[in-house]
A and B are shown apart, each in its own frame.
Chain A
Amino acid sequence: MLDSAKNMKTSLIRDEGIIKSASVLTDEQVRKVINDVLKNETGARLKTYVDTCVHCGLCSEACHYYLSHDKDPSYSPAGKVKQTMWEMIKRKGDVGTAAIQRMSEIASTECNLCRRCAMYCPLGVDIAYIMLVVRRICNKLGVTPTYIEDTSHSHSVTMNQMWVKDDEWIDTLQWQEEEAAEEIPNLRIPLDKEGADFMYSVIGPEPKFRAQLIYQAAVIFNAAGLNWTMPSSPGWDNSDMAMYTGDHEIMGRVKKVHFETAMRLKVKRIVMGECGHAFRSVYDMGNRWLGWKMPPLPMVHSIEFFHDLIKEGKLKLKKKFESPVTLHDPCNVVRGRGLHEMARYIVGESCEEFIEMHPNREHNYCCCAGGGVINCGPPYRNTRVDGNRIKAEQLFAAKSRGAKTIIAPCHNCHGGLEDIVEHYGLHMDIKFFGDILYDLIEKPE
């Protein structure tokens, strides 16, 4: 075993896939891939970040893992870089097959790439970027946690996250259309409507597990009298776990299909469901890998879309949501796009009582599901839940001031918060804006 493996916090690797993949690796392969990525795929950014970090530790308190683990320094952002990238650089790639497994776990399951630490580092080091480089190295070696790697495989085959087959997708839309038409006669989910004002894209779990969200969106768009469409072909899914495994090539392929579907349908913009990571992928990372400085078509997140619909008077609310709510600001649309005030506008218009959680807005704590961590599956459920005690405390404080419902306009946040609410016995409801608005809007007869 190489030195760096001994220095690692002794921990049993929880993921069978990582262990099995590493069992066929050699130390030489590890060295070669690390050096190849460092030499050929990274440059001034990584070098400057590593050279500039003065080891001051001021990023520590940004991290919910660090705070939740009684300030264990190995969970601090720079602490995680020390255990991964610094080792790789210091040892010129010679970290060995044992250490690379643990490095994969650190980068993939003990960091949500939430970028909160970027707001705490005095020098502006983007640690999420460094962690992504580590993930990419691990992915090139095949030592990525099984569940998220499988999801990335799904993206590569079906262009969606959940192995949803081409016919299952259309069938689901038609089924939701049928259901919704029982509530609102002649309601449509228009497929492939060329020249519509916008294409609505969702993430794989919606048709697979949460089809009612598509139903609700259809009812809301119908009530607002909008000219919209959904594609019947692959390209409907805006999500992207390949982005989080570091597999940029599959990320790019999936984004290409998504954007080109919208171009083919001649829509003017793409409106997307309440998902955070997908927004990062279409607005920030996937487009860049393909050479688009900004998304080629405007990407409108549901928060912005609902905000505009209410503000323009297109959505009229019959009443307000009565139970007191608090709002969870998802990293990828708040630190990633600054939608926090728009979210508060929707809350103000649609809810009787709003109780802020603290910290909030850009400073909100991550749900601990994001960055692909929840997608690493059951082996890492406790990593997430124990790693976010601070979130439970934050929610509990809001609850003790009266909040009963958490609004979380992001799928991963939902998943993460559900586990936290359950594990810590918080007994709070979690809702999307879509859930709330669907119940409150005036619907056509």
Chain B
Amino acid sequence: MIGKEQWDWNPGRKIITDLGKWKEEYGYMEEPAVSPDGEKVAAVIKTPEEEFGVCVNGEIWESTFDKICYLQYTPDNRLTATVSDVGEWTVAVDGETWENRYDYMWNLHISADGSRIIAAAQKEGKYLAVNNDVPWENEFMFMTDLSVSADGMHTSGVVQVVPFSEGDIHTFRKGCYTTAVDGRTWENNFMNVWEPEFSPDGKHVAAQIRKSNYEYSIAVDGQAWNNFFGCVWKPRFSPGGDSVSAPVRVGGAWMLARDGEIIWNKKFVQLWHHAYSPDMQHIAAIVAPKFGKWTVAVDGKAWKPCVDEYVTDMVFSPRHNRVACIGKDNGRYYVMTDGKKWDEDFDMAWKPAFSHDGEHLAVKVEKNRHYTYIVDGKILRESYDMLWEPVFSPDGTKLLIRGITRVSGQKEQYFREVISLNQI
């Protein structure tokens, strides 16, 4: 996140606003969004004229709209949303709308540094992506799976390039879909293309493809691997960008392949959402070593503790190659990290967050309709009526809490609080 060093990291709680008052005043308020630094909170409200507006820390955007969607903060603390007026859609950033208008806009993406905002758009039945108000030069009869490079400079989507009428299964089988990168299509068409993924430098794109009913593979910049598989899941570029790996299905079992060749010589009932460690030395993935048993495998070796229901939100730490995830067992949610399952169980658990040095791990959790954090296995003493996900200070010694507490009657205080980790 940008300028994190400049945020207010002095320990203590700051009450930003009373959301209860907003509700009282406007009679209608959607779920609030908060800025990464916690200094701002915003929500869609209804004005007395029955139009939708955005309230930020108690102040209302000047413009109102017929509809407001995807209200969210960028990593650099700007507020954005898709908005519609008299049947036309555009994107608004801190209340200012883009020039271009479309029949529909949705699926907002924001680059990691917050500088670029991208949305999918449709005008007169034609589909395209729009990047910081600049539309693709080409439009398509259909687009889905919009994705964005890490720097936000490039966008891609799965597009249809050969028309066929509904029910024309034979044309469909010939391959009518491909990937468009910045509006330009790959040379080859496929029966299906799914979830294009950029290389770290944004120069290459890999996607899952289906060549015929039962021939799956990965295509990189439009060229399919030489080998085809029973099925594949989402590919990933290595952090160096020189190879592509993906889970592949062989003889009814899942394995990990790189550039078409099996690299994990171990079979799993399921294997997906693999990720590279930041130092590029390791690959971790969510796996089912046995039917109905879920865990994480690092370099093909599965952790001992398994859960019965599912594993999700697997992340690598920025340093030290630690891995954490959320596991669900017998209806309860657990934090799992470094091959161990923490003892505490919850009604729900969010994506784990590591500190920059990889030393600490904090997770937003829910119990009995109250939210708190569990940090390095210890639960915060206090719990809240609402909570956003935890943010570590750049030096990893403090934690930013963004939450809501209900106090006496209608009051719903949104606050930001910085605590020292040794306070927990």
Partner of A140, one of B69, B213, B288: B213
CA distance A30 to B282 in the complex (A): 44
Partner of A163, one of B106, B166, B192, B328: B166
* B120 adjacent to A186 (CB under 8 Å): no
Whether A171 contacts B104 in the complex (CB less than 8 A), given A191-B69, A252-B231, A293-B292, comes out as yes
Inter-chain contacts of A147 with B (CB < 8 A): 167
* B107 adjacent to A293 (CB under 8 Å): no
* B214 adjacent to A249 (CB under 8 Å): yes
* A249 adjacent to B30 (CB under 8 Å): no
* B292 adjacent to A157 (CB under 8 Å): no
Q: Which of B267-286 contact A (CB under 8 A)?
A: 269-270, 272
Contact with A along B162-200 (1 / 0, CB 8 A): 000011111011000100000000000001101000000
CA distance A348 to B321 in the complex (A): 59
* B231 adjacent to A249 (CB under 8 Å): yes
* A139 adjacent to B309 (CB under 8 Å): no
Q: Does A383 contact B (CB under 8 A)?
A: no
Q: Does A424 contact B (CB under 8 A)?
A: no
B390 to A: closest C-beta gap in Å:
15
* B169 adjacent to A17 (CB under 8 Å): yes
Q: Does A195 contact B (CB under 8 A)?
A: yes
Partner of A291, one of B168, B177, B288, B350: B288
Contact with B along A234-260 (1 / 0, CB 8 A): 100000000000010100110010011
Contact segment of A90-98, A148-156, A324-332: A148-156
* B170 adjacent to A20 (CB under 8 Å): yes
Q: Does A165 contact B (CB under 8 A)?
A: yes
A182 to B: closest C-beta gap in Å:
11
Contact-residue bracket for chain B: 35 or more
Closest Cβ neighbor of A171 among chain B residues: B104
B55 to A: closest C-beta gap in Å:
16
CA distance A381 to B295 in the complex (A): 47
* A249 adjacent to B230 (CB under 8 Å): yes
B368 to A: closest C-beta gap in Å:
13
Whether A290 contacts B107 in the complex (CB less than 8 A), given A41-B252, A163-B166, A268-B348, comes out as no
A192 to B: closest C-beta gap in Å:
8
CA distance A234 to B31 in the complex (A): 22
* A234 adjacent to B144 (CB under 8 Å): yes
Q: Does A158 contact B (CB under 8 A)?
A: yes
* A170 adjacent to B106 (CB under 8 Å): yes
* B106 adjacent to A153 (CB under 8 Å): no
Closest Cβ neighbor of A170 among chain B residues: B106
A230 to B: closest C-beta gap in Å:
13
* A263 adjacent to B310 (CB under 8 Å): yes
Inter-chain contacts of A21 with B (CB < 8 A): 169-170
Inter-chain contacts of B107 with A (CB < 8 A): 166, 232-233
Closest Cβ neighbor of A142 among chain B residues: B213
* A296 adjacent to B120 (CB under 8 Å): no
Inter-chain contacts of A167 with B (CB < 8 A): 104, 106, 120, 122
Q: Does B136 contact A (CB under 8 A)?
A: no
Inter-chain contacts of B292 with A (CB < 8 A): 291-294
Q: Does B46 contact A (CB under 8 A)?
A: yes
CA distance A431 to B95 in the complex (A): 46
* A186 adjacent to B27 (CB under 8 Å): yes
Inter-chain contacts of B142 with A (CB < 8 A): 157, 165
Q: Does B76 contact A (CB under 8 A)?
A: no
CA distance A21 to B347 in the complex (A): 51
Closest Cβ neighbor of B103 among chain A residues: A167
A439 to B: closest C-beta gap in Å:
27
Whether A293 contacts B192 in the complex (CB less than 8 A), given A249-B216, A263-B310, comes out as no
CA distance A216 to B347 in the complex (A): 29
Closest Cβ neighbor of B290 among chain A residues: A291
Inter-chain contacts of A40 with B (CB < 8 A): 251-252
Contact with A along B47-67 (1 / 0, CB 8 A): 000000000000000000001
Closest Cβ neighbor of A40 among chain B residues: B251
Inter-chain contacts of A150 with B (CB < 8 A): 166-169, 172
Closest Cβ neighbor of A233 among chain B residues: B107
Q: Does B211 contact A (CB under 8 A)?
A: no
Partner of A296, one of B104, B194, B272, B309: B309
Contact with B along A191-218 (1 / 0, CB 8 A): 1111100000000000000000000000
Inter-chain contacts of B94 with A (CB < 8 A): none
Whether A174 contacts B67 in the complex (CB less than 8 A), given A195-B366, A296-B309, A296-B310, comes out as yes
B217 to A: closest C-beta gap in Å:
13
CA distance A249 to B122 in the complex (A): 30
CA distance A166 to B28 in the complex (A): 27
CA distance A297 to B333 in the complex (A): 11
Contact with A along B299-335 (1 / 0, CB 8 A): 0000000001110100000000000000010010000
B144 to A: closest C-beta gap in Å:
5
CA distance A170 to B194 in the complex (A): 20
A267 to B: closest C-beta gap in Å:
9
Q: Does A83 contact B (CB under 8 A)?
A: no
* B214 adjacent to A140 (CB under 8 Å): yes
* A247 adjacent to B213 (CB under 8 Å): yes
Contact with A along B12-49 (1 / 0, CB 8 A): 00000000000000011011000000000000001000
Inter-chain contacts of B251 with A (CB < 8 A): 40
Q: Which of B50-106 contact A (CB under 8 A)?
A: 67, 69-70, 104, 106
A331 to B: closest C-beta gap in Å:
25
Tell me which of A190, A234, A266, A297 has the highest count of chain B C-beta atoms within 10 A of its own C-beta: A266
Q: Does A188 contact B (CB under 8 A)?
A: yes
Whether A291 contacts B230 in the complex (CB less than 8 A), given A41-B252, A157-B192, A266-B348, comes out as no
Q: Does A146 contact B (CB under 8 A)?
A: yes
Closest Cβ neighbor of A252 among chain B residues: B231
Contact with A along B339-379 (1 / 0, CB 8 A): 00000000110100000000000000010000000000000
Partner of A263, one of B31, B160, B312: B312
- Subset of 26 A-B contacts with CB under 8 Å: A17-B170, A21-B170, A40-B251, A139-B213, A147-B167, A149-B169, A150-B169, A156-B191, A157-B160, A157-B177, A165-B122, A166-B120, A167-B122, A191-B69, A194-B31, A232-B70, A232-B107, A234-B144, A253-B194, A263-B310, A266-B348, A268-B347, A292-B292, A293-B291, A293-B292, A294-B309
Binding site for A on B (CB under 8 A): 27-28, 30-31, 46, 67, 69-70, 104, 106-107, 120, 122, 127, 142-144, 160, 166-170, 172-173, 177, 191-192, 194, 210, 213-214, 216, 230-231, 249, 251-252, 269-270, 272, 288, 291-292, 294, 308-310, 312, 328, 331, 347-348, 350, 366
Nearest first, the 6 closest Cβ-Cβ pairs linking A and B are A293-B292, A291-B270, A296-B310, A291-B288, A167-B104, A291-B269
